[in-house]
Amino acid sequence: MSETEPPPATAVAAPPRMVVDARGSWCPGPLMELVRVIKDEPVGTEFELLSSDEGSRKDIPMWLEKAHHELIEVRPDSGFDRYIVRKTHD
């Protein structure tokens, strides 16, 4: 690549992000869904887990810490929360 040329906008590809809608699922359903998709998808995948289960607020960060995956962000929405997560290892 030439030094003078700016890199094309598409050079930094966003990691694939998968939405996992577990709203309405009872505890520990959203955690189970997350464990399942993290097991199945490749390293680097980002997940947006939607959960209306109040237990998820402690369960999800606790599990991610124990399993050593990354919790990027928790975004409260109306009646549910969005957990943005990255799979960091197999």
Partner 1 sequence: MSSSQAPPPEQMAVVLTESAADKLLPFATLVSGAVALGFRVDVFASYWGLVAFRKTPTAPSASVSPGHGEDGARLEAALNAPKAPSWKAILEMARSIGDLHIYACSQSMEVLGLKKDELDPLVEGVTGVATFIDRTRSATISYFI
Q: Which is nearer to partner 1, 8 or 56 (CB)?
A: 56
Among 20, 25, 51, 80, binds partner 1 (CB under 8 A): 25
Sheet containing 81-86: give its strands across: 17-21, 46-51, 81-86, 70-76
- The whole-angstrom separation of Cα 29 and Cα 76 is 18
- The whole-angstrom separation of Cα 90 and Cα 43 is 6
Q: Strand, helix or coil at 43?
A: coil
If binding is defined by CB under 8 A, does position 36 make contact with partner 1? yes
Among 66, 68, 76, 79, binds partner 1 (CB under 8 A): 66
Cis, bond preceding 28 (omega within 30 deg of 0):
yes
If binding is defined by CB under 8 A, does position 63 make contact with partner 1? yes
Q: Which is nearer to partner 1, 13 or 70 (CB)?
A: 70
Tell me the closest approach of the beta carbon of residue 18 to partner 1, in angstroms: 16
If binding is defined by CB under 8 A, does position 90 make contact with partner 1? yes
